Amino acid sequence: MYKGLTEELARKTDSRILLAIIDGVGDVSNAELGGRTPLEAAETPQLDRLASESALGLHIPVSPGITPGSGPAHLALFGYDPVTFNVGRGVLAALGMEFDLEYGDLVARINFCTVDDDGVITDRRAGRISTEKCTELISLISDIEINDVETFVFPVKQHRACVVFRGEGLDDNIEDTDPGLTGKKPVNVTGPGKSARVVREFIMEAGRILHRRHPANFIILRGFSIYKEFPSMRDRFRLSPAVAALYPMYKGVARFVGMDVQICEPEDLDGQARAVKSALESGHDFVFLHHKPADSAGEDGNVPAKIKAIEEFDRHLPSFLKLGFDVVCITGDHSTPCSMKLHSWHPVPVLINGGPQRIGYSKAFSEREALSGALGSFRAMDLMPLLLASAGKLAKFGA
């Protein structure tokens, strides 16, 4: 098990922590809102009341300037350095697509690409084919059969797809076949091992099938990784963690770090509140609540929808607060500015309520008010020790 300072000091107590993530909640100054952010513009009486009694600050999802995908962003908030805990793009992509990975599976990202008659890559993204096209091409190569392994392929987005090989004795000691630039041939998979043989055969067969499918007439593979048991939050932090999320990606990442997935019925914030309640009743002491719509609205560039998503969370907040948590943290996994229609690197407001806290000057839950909070800004990775400390779950370091 990975063992750092936090793991060494973590101790089991009865206190209970809620980590509520409003996905993509952070934003930037928006012209439609006269320079305010959607979070500033939203009517959030519950969050604002809580803010005035809480420690506020901003978390930096990975490091300054780095825009995280949902996987790394959540891993960091759960206390897993997404750079050190190199999960492998393949595995995160597969988890994100709700593929039911088994330990020992070899996973890789597929990129469709364009090669010329000599096999030299002329476009590493095959002209960014549509996701529909990708799905069609994947169905063509989904019948590839390779001795000794089961092979699963599925589309991800645009030219991106994923392959999973399942069988005995696979390893991920395989270089990316993507040379990283055009004008070169894909890197050959060499070596005598089973994995290399399987991957070679798969690429050859796929090349044969895609031969006439210009621009997506070949594939390059990268991010080979074996899905293996991951140090769990249970072992690392002595928590009994659970997740109340509606989207597969978040259930997947949460399960990956050892959270028990709760059934949310109906599939909305009411159902999530019930799920959180039952998680506590069954003895869990850490619950991750995930609220998706703010991120989706950001990705769509839909300011009113983002505001609405935030206000919806605010209205439901009391049904979570009343469940009796000792420490409540509300934040986002990353920013998703409406004006960008993308995830971004901008720091994300964090609120910690409960436990011994220093209350700063923040009067509301927003990007700017968080600047005058007592927590300052810190790496997302550092949130978990702060929550454990707030809940009395970390012993003192040294004499």
What is the contact surface with a second copy in residues (CB under 8 A)?
A: 5-6, 9, 27-29, 35, 37, 58, 62-73, 82-83, 89, 92-93, 96, 156, 337, 339-340, 342-347, 356-361, 367-368, 371-372, 374, 376-379, 382-390, 394-399
Q: Is the CB of 62 or the CB of 216 nearer to a second copy?
A: 62
Distance CA 73, CA 345 (A): 10
Residue 196 in 3-state DSSP? helix
Distance CA 106, CA 166 (A): 6
Cis peptide before 192 (omega within 30 of 0): no
Q: List, in order, residues 6 or more apart from 86 with CB less than 8 Å away.
A: none
Counting beta carbons within 10 angstroms of the beta carbon of residue 1, is it exposed (0 to 12), middle (13 to 18) or buried (19 or more)? exposed
Shortest spacing between CB 7 and a second copy, in angstroms:
12
Q: Is the CB of 92 or the CB of 198 nearer to a second copy?
A: 92
Q: Which of 106, 85, 70 is nearest to 221 (CA)?
A: 106
Q: Is the CB of 71 or the CB of 258 nearer to a second copy?
A: 71
Structure tokens at 242: 């659970």
Shortest spacing between CB 266 and a second copy, in angstroms:
28
Q: List, in order, residues 6 or more apart from 383 with CB less than 8 Å away.
A: 59, 76, 77, 79, 329, 331, 350
Q: Is the CB of 247 or the CB of 378 nearer to a second copy?
A: 378
Shortest spacing between CB 21 and a second copy, in angstroms:
16
Q: Which of 332, 267, 329 is nearest to 294 (CA)?
A: 332
Q: Is the CB of 103 or the CB of 397 nearer to a second copy?
A: 397
Distance CA 271, CA 277 (A): 10
User: ∠152-153-155 over CA atoms, to 5°?
Assistant: 150
Shortest spacing between CB 144 and a second copy, in angstroms:
23
Shortest spacing between CB 108 and a second copy, in angstroms:
13
Q: Is the CB of 210 or the CB of 364 nearer to a second copy?
A: 364
Q: Is the CB of 7 or the CB of 116 nearer to a second copy?
A: 7
Shortest spacing between CB 12 and a second copy, in angstroms:
10
Shortest spacing between CB 211 and a second copy, in angstroms:
29
Beta strands in 182-306, from DSSP E residues, in sequence order: 218-226, 241-244, 260-261, 286-291
Q: Which helix (H) or strand (E) holds 3?
A: none
Q: Is the CB of 83 or the CB of 263 nearer to a second copy?
A: 83
Shortest spacing between CB 212 and a second copy, in angstroms:
30
